């Protein structure tokens, strides 16, 4: 009889514990589960899984000499960091077909050509759209290569990288050859966490979660504020 009583007591305790766990789980889910659109709250998810969103680490994988032998640094005689107003929204028009362009659209395209965006033609940079410019010295170039090539995952297991579908760049790294011509550039959009190069040969390197934040702080250290600190 005592044995039966013990079994019934254990079953009762297990059932109560299960209900308690289920209740706590339901409460926890109600706090963090959905927003107004019934989608997961990404910031809450990030806080609860911080290790997955803190996966960047500096390494010594490549020496300064090795980093500088890589394109575009191997070819660059001068590197500048610049900021400029984004040229979004872009007019969806073709200048070579005037029959399909009204005067207002054509005027808008011409007026904004040198006021917004990054413009390079025949290796010449149009400086009229540039808001800020900084010529990189050797120490700053070495730091840049360190960010690109030696900033990698701490542990590559489950890594999450945020990226937007948009691309409205306000910053760029511009590379000049020995003749003073722009041979390549890397445009960066910190708002969208995207980057594109003229040749598609330059990237920001391994996309560990904080890579764009590290690069943003690097440009701020150079004195580039537009696009990194403010957008106006």
Look over the chain and give the mean of its residue pLDDT values, rounded to a whole number.
75
**pLDDT above 70 for 28:** no
Q: Which of 4-13, 72-81, 128-137 has the lowest mean pLDDT?
A: 4-13
Q: How confident is the model at residue 2 (pLDDT cuts 50, 70, 90)?
A: very low
> What angle do helix axes 138-149 and 211-222 make, rounded to 10 degrees?
170
Overall average pLDDT of the 191-218 stretch: 94
pLDDT at position 54: 67
pLDDT tens string 151-172: 998 876 544 455 556 889 999 9
Tokens of 192: 């969208």
**pLDDT above 90 for 32:** no
Overall average pLDDT of the 114-139 stretch: 92
Rg (CA), the chain: 26
Tell me phi and psi for residue 132, to 5 degrees.
-135, 150
pLDDT tens string 53-72: 567 999 989 999 999 999 99
pLDDT at position 109: 42
Element (H, E) at 120: strand 120-121
DSSP class per residue in 40-107: --HHHHHHHTGGGG--EEE--SS-HHHHHTSTTTTT-SEEEEEE----PSPP---TT-GGG--HHHHH
**pLDDT above 80 for 204:** yes
pLDDT at position 154: 80
* Cα 195 to Cα 153: distance, rounded to the nearest angstrom: 19
* Cα 122 to Cα 182: distance, rounded to the nearest angstrom: 8
pLDDT higher for 141 or 106? 141
**pLDDT above 60 for 122:** yes
pLDDT higher for 119 or 109? 119
**Closest Cα to residue 170, out of 101, 226, 114, 113?**
226
Overall average pLDDT of the 116-140 stretch: 95
**pLDDT above 60 for 102:** no
pLDDT at position 162: 52
Output the pTM of the full model: 0.67
Q: If DSSP codes are grouped into helix, strand and coil, which group holds residue 195?
A: strand
User: Who's near 74: CB < 8 A, 6+ residues apart?
Assistant: 68
pLDDT at position 43: 52
């Amino acid at each position: 009889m005592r044995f039966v009583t013990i079994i019934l007591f254990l079953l009762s305790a297990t059932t109560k514990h299960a209900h308690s766990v289920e209740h706590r789980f339901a409460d926890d889910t109600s706090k963090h589960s959905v927003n107004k659109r019934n989608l997961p709250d990404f910031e809450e998810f990030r806080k609860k899984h911080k290790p997955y969103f803190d996966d960047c680490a500096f390494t010594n994988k490549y020496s300064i000499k090795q980093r500088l032998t890589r394109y575009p640094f191997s070819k660059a005689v001068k590197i500048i960091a610049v900021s400029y107003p984004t040229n979004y929204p872009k007019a969806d028009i073709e200048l070579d077909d005037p029959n399909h362009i009204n005067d207002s659209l054509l005027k808008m395209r011409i007026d904004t050509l040198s006021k917004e965006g990054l413009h390079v033609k025949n290796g010449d940079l149009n400086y009229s759209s540039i808001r800020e410019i900084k010529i990189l010295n050797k120490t700053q170039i070495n730091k840049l290569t360190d960010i690109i090539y030696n900033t990698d995952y701490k542990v590559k297991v489950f890594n999450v990288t945020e990226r937007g579908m948009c691309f409205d760049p306000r910053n760029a790294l511009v590379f000049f050859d020995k003749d003073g011509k722009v041979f390549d550039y890397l445009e960066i959009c910190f708002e969208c966490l995207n980057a594109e190069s003229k040749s598609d040969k330059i990237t920001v390197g391994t996309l560990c979660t904080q890579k764009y934040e590290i690069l943003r702080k690097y440009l701020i250290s150079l004195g580039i504020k537009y696009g990194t600190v403010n957008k106006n």
